[in-house]
Amino acid sequence: MSTADTSTVFLDLDETICEHPRSTADRLADAFDAAGVEPFFDVPDFRRRLARVTADSAVELREKCFAGIADELGRDPADALAVARAYEDPDPTEVEFLPGAEAALDALAAGHDLALVTNGDRETQRAKLAALGIEDRFAAATYAGSTGVVKPDPDPFHRTLSALGIEASEAVHVGNSLRSDVAGAQAAGMEAVWLARVEEDADCVPEYRIDSMRDLHAPPWV
């Protein structure tokens, strides 16, 4: 893909552009402790299951994810629900940019339109964007958690392409999840950039891999 072909960069939000100061792993460990349950899964397990579940709220989403993991492992579903209910949602206004992310947005915006494709719900994600001061940075935004169809389904990407009036060949997607971001973008006919913060096994192979958002200061598809 050449620079001339790529008019728009789609980006994931959580753990791609921003993160909470307190990690998901820490909050999950606290939830197991508060529920009095010996840990039986970790954050990668959570994320793998998350890509296969839809729900109307964050609480319901966790309950379905944790219960599904428990079922796969032959664990008591009551333990999974106890952990899900003990898990504390972070304050969406307490997010901070990943290293290099704010500068990457500036660099990308100099030559591309930007679009947001996130599995979060509209209210929560817009609170994060406002806290970061970037709510007006995106030409289009799809909050898949509010539509009921999340990545890796290609629907959120198709919705965003349609909103912008462009073809899949004109856009590239950047995200931290092979299963959600890379697989979903490729299913929609787009190329994908994987932000490899944590090693992950998946059946898909990204067109590009970066290890930091700083690597987008000079886009790899150029």
Work out the angle at residue 182's Cα, subtended by the Cα atoms of residues 181 and 188, and round it to the nearest 5 degrees.
90
State the pLDDT at residue 4: 54
The residues pairing with 175 across neighbouring beta strands, listed in sequence order, are 194
pLDDT, one tens digit for every residue, the chain (222 residues): 444 589 999 999 999 999 999 888 999 999 999 999 999 999 888 877 876 777 777 788 899 999 999 999 999 999 999 999 999 988 999 999 999 999 999 999 999 999 999 998 899 999 999 999 999 999 999 999 888 888 999 999 999 999 999 999 999 999 999 989 999 999 999 999 999 988 777 789 999 999 999 999 999 997
State the pLDDT at residue 2: 45
Rounded Cα–Cα distance for residues 48 and 69 (Å): 10
- Which amino acid belongs to residue 19? E
Rounded Cα–Cα distance for residues 135 and 131 (Å): 9
Residue matched to tokens 């509209």 = 122
| HSE-CB of 40 using CA atoms within 13 angstroms | 22
First-residue to last-residue Cα distance in the chain: 8
Domains and CATH numbers, the chain: 8-20+93-217 (3.40.50.1000), 24-86 (no CATH)
State the pLDDT at residue 150: 87
